[in-house]
Structure 1
Amino acid sequence: MPDATARETESPRPVRPAPGTRQELPDDECTAPHYFLDDPTATELRELCTRVRAPLAAANALDDAWAPPRSRDAFLLNAYRNAQVDLIDIDPHDFGPIGHMGYFRRTASPLWERALDWFAERHIEG
C-alpha cells in the first residue's frame, strides 16, 4: 500500500490520502464512478433503486475530499432516476470545516436542524 506521506512529485499523477487511512488515492481516478451501479452483479440493486419514488435529500460538504458533490451526483442521479432528488451543497464557510465526517461533531447541530426541517416540509398526514 502506498504511503500517504510520499511526496506528490514521486507519482506521475496527483494523489491524496484516503480519509482515515494512509492509502493514497489518485485525484483523477475513480474505479467505480457510479458506485455499485457499475458492478455488473448488482442488477437487482439497480432495479430496486429505480423503484424509489419518495423525495430524497442528498447533502454533501464542499470540503469533503473523499465524497465530493460530483461523486454524489454521479451516483444518486443515475441510481434514483424516478425520485425527486434535492442536491444540497454545504459550504464550510457557512458552518466551519465539515469534511467527510464533520456531520457527527457537536458543532454540526445546525446541519441536522436543516435536515429535520427538510423532512418536516415534506411531511404528509395520512
Structure 2
Amino acid sequence: MSSISRPSAAASAHAETIRFEAADGHPLEGTLTTGPGHGPLALISAATAVKRGFYQKFAESLVTEHGFRAALTYDYRGTGGSVSQDFNPRHISMADWGMKDFPAALARLELVAPGHRVVGVGQSYGGQALGLGNVSERFERYLMVATISGYWRNLGGGFKLYALMNLVANPVAFLVGHVPSGMGLGSGLPGGVFSDWTRWCNRPDYFFSEEPRFDAKNLFASVRTPILAIGATDDPWGTPAAREAIMRHFTNAPVETRWLDPQEAGGPIGHLDFFRSRFRETLWPEAIGWLKGEAQA
C-alpha cells in the first residue's frame, strides 16, 4: 500500500491520497482526511457515477469543524482513481461496489484508530452499500442521502430515463465495454456495472431478486444500525415511492426519515447537491449532529 500526500484546504486537517485493495485484489483509491479531534471515524460512500472529490469539502468539514477523527472518501472499482487495466470493465459488477469495495474501504479507515467508533455517510448507491456490504455491525450510525430504489417507474425521469439507459447507453456499454462520461449519466462507468444498473432499474424489485447471485433481502434484513434517511422535495429521482421501495427492506434497523425543503435550505438540492459547500451552514450541521449522536432540538 502506498500513499501520496497533498495539502488540505483546511490548515487543521491532513488529506492524503491512499491506495488499498479489496479482498479480490482489485486496487482502490481514496482520500483520507485526518485531524486532532476525538470524534468518530466517517466512511463516505458515493452515488453512482460520482467521483470521490465531490465529497471532499464535506469530509474536511467533519474533521475541521466537527471534531471527527478521520473521514475517508473513495472511488468504486472501475471509476475515478480505482481503474485498473488488470480488470476487464465488462466483468465488474455493480454489486462488487457494495459487497467488496465498501468493506475494503471500511477496513482501511479502521486502521487509522482500531476500535474507534465508526459512522457512515452514503449518497444514493452509497446507502444501498450498507445493506449489501454485510459489515453493518461495525457502524454506530449511518446517514443516507437520496438513497432510493432505481426502478424507473418510481423515478421522475420516466420513460425518457428508461430510453436513455436501455436504448442508448446500454448498447454503447455492450459495444465498447464502458459508458463514457457526457451521456447524461454522470462520470464514466464500467460496462458490467451499467449492465447491472440497467437490469435492476427495469425491475420493480430492483436487485432484490438476484438470487442465487446474492440475497439482498436477507443482507438488508441483517442490518440493525440506526439510519437517518434524508431526501429533498426537489429531487427528480428521489420520489417518496422510490425511497420507500428501498428503505422498507431495512426491516430490523431503526430508520428515521426526513425531507428537506430547498426554500428553507436557501437553494436547489436535487439528487446530489446536499454535499455542496453552499449548504455548510444550513443542511450539514443537523445531519452531522445526528451522526455524532447529539440530541436534536
- What is the TM-score with the length of structure 2 in the denominator? 0.30
Identity percentage of aligned residues: 33
Please show how residues 90-101 of structure 1 align to structure 2 within 5 Å: 90-95=260-265, 96-101=267-272
Displacement after TM superposition at 1:22 (Å): 4.6
Contact 1:61 1:69 (8 Å CA) reproduced: no
- Which residue of the other structure, out of 47, 54, 58, is the alignment partner of 2:225? 54
* Equivalent position SS for 1:99: coil
1:84 aligns with 2:254: yes
Q: 1:102 to 1:75 in 2, by over 3 A?
A: same
Contact 1:64 1:99 (8 Å CA) reproduced: yes
1:107 aligns with 2:274: no
Contact 1:51 1:82 (8 Å CA) reproduced: yes
- Which residue of the other structure, out of 236, 239, 254, is the alignment partner of 1:65? 236
- Corresponding pairs, count: 101
- What is the TM-score with the length of structure 1 in the denominator? 0.65
Contact 1:57 1:86 (8 Å CA) reproduced: yes
Could you give the per-residue CA deviations for residues 7-42 of structure 1, whole angstroms, max 9, x where no partner exists? xxxxxxx75558x8558xxxxxx6334432243443
Q: Which residue of 1 is the match for residue 293 of structure 2?
A: 121
Q: 1:102 to 1:53 in 2, by over 3 A?
A: same
Amino acid at match of 1:72: R
Amino acid at match of 2:287: A
Amino acid at match of 1:119: L
- Which residue of the other structure, out of 36, 57, 71, is the alignment partner of 2:207? 36
Structure number with the higher strand fraction is 2
**Unaligned 5+ residue runs, structure 2?**
1-157, 165-181, 186-200
CA distance in 2, matches of 1:94, 1:34: 34
* Equivalent position SS for 1:59: strand
Q: 1:97 to 1:37 in 2, by over 3 A?
A: same
CA distance in 2, matches of 1:111, 1:83: 24
Amino acid at match of 1:83: A
Select the structure with the greater relative contact order (CA < 8 A; seq sep ≥ 6).
1
Q: 1:62 to 1:55 in 2, by over 3 A?
A: same
Greater CA drift, 99-108 or 31-40: 31-40
Q: 1:21 to 1:65 in 2, by over 3 A?
A: farther
Contact 1:61 1:91 (8 Å CA) reproduced: yes
